[in-house]
Amino acid sequence: MTEQIQPQAVYAFLQGLQARIVEAVELVDGKNFLQDSWQRPEGGGGNSCLLENGNVFERAGVGFSHVLGNKLPPAASVAHPEAAGRPWEAMGVSLVFHPHNPYIPTVHMNVRFFVARAQQEGEQDIWWFGGGMDLTPYYGEEEDCIHFHRVNKEALAPFGADYYTRFKQACDEYFFLKHRKEPRGVGGVFFDDFSELGFEQSFALQRAIGDAFLQAYLPIVQRRKNQPYGERERDFQSYRRGRYVEFNLIFDRGTIFGLQSNGRTESILLSMPPVVKWRYDWKPENGSPEAKLYTDFLIEKDWV
């Protein structure tokens, strides 16, 4: 018997996850998120939660979306030609937090579910989970990177000893700026097209990642939020944010899928940092704190 998928259970989890993260971050920052609900003409909608010019976060976005359609956009159908032409729905929670303090890393997390419905007798629904989280420091601290990776490893341990190793490698490979030949940050975990454990256990794995986010990130925020900084650090943070923008606009599958599926542009691009700088062929001074990011952190490394 084919295992029944339960999109409504995923929907309920994702909405609850968004609410829990927003509440926790509001307590840390002291400022409330703007709640912006929206509808998509082709079907579905979502709720974009945005905090700007907070006490801790310069910009923090936590978006929930549930969108439906009759024809897959190229970003999805190229990888899954068997799903082309089928009715589909996609739902997920995606967040990016850009702090004021350059000693707090930027963070990204996403958990999502996709299903293309069977149309003819003998066909089965095509479905998968995806997601993960990754950390992008400006001034790296080893204990922060170890903590972030350890929480992810512990979250995945109940599902099998190799999942953290697999997902860490996938994260390192995915969040890589090919045109720069450098990682976006210190990684984390990433998975996509994931259905190998069956619906119940694949969903449980996704929940484990989503539920681990606050434990992985907020202790780092609390440790760094009062660390003194000046114009030099803010300038370097703005420069490194340029790499974040480049990745999101060129490589990020969620951004590409959202724009190709006629999603809400403001919600898709809420991950963008508010202040960014680019320089022509700039290199940090040897031995400087800025150079240490490249030599000690933007490298392939086993953090735990």
| Structure-derived torsion over alpha carbons of residues 228, 218, 16, 256, reported in degrees to the nearest 10 | 70
| Structure-derived torsion over alpha carbons of residues 193, 7, 212, 243, reported in degrees to the nearest 10 | 50
| Burial 120-145, CB ≥16 within 10 A → b, else e | eeeeebbbbbbbbbbbbbbbbbeebb
Residues in Cβ contact with 46 at an 8 Å cutoff, skipping those fewer than 6 apart: 37, 38, 40, 63, 64, 65, 66, 67, 264, 267
Q: Which candidate in 66, 108, 147, 149 is catalytic?
A: 108
Tally of structural domains, the chain:
1
If DSSP codes are grouped into helix, strand and coil, which group holds residue 284? coil
Look at residue 3 in the predicted model and tell me its pLDDT: 74
Residue 256 lies in a domain: yes
Residue 1 lies in a domain: no
| Number of alpha carbons in the 13 Å side-chain half-sphere of residue 237 | 22
Residue 42 lies in a domain: yes
Contact criterion met (CB below 8 Å) for 111 and 209:
yes
Tell me which residues of the chain have a pLDDT lower than 50: 1
- What CATH number corresponds to the domain at position 178? 3.40.1500.10
Distance CA 161, CA 183 (A): 25
Domain that residue 290 falls in: 7-297
Look at residue 270 in the predicted model and tell me its pLDDT: 83
Residue 302 lies in a domain: no
Residue 2 lies in a domain: no
Main-chain dihedrals φ then ψ at residue 292, nearest 5 degrees:
-60, -30
Look at residue 75 in the predicted model and tell me its pLDDT: 63
Residue 259 lies in a domain: yes
Radius of gyration of the chain (CA): 19
Look at residue 77 in the predicted model and tell me its pLDDT: 65
Look at residue 285 in the predicted model and tell me its pLDDT: 95
Look at residue 1 in the predicted model and tell me its pLDDT: 44
In the residue annotation, 108 being an active-site residue is answered as yes
Residue 222 lies in a domain: yes
Residue 303 lies in a domain: no
What distances in angstroms separate CA 239 from CA 95, 233, 248, 265, 292, one per listed residue? 21, 10, 15, 24, 15
If DSSP codes are grouped into helix, strand and coil, which group holds residue 59? strand
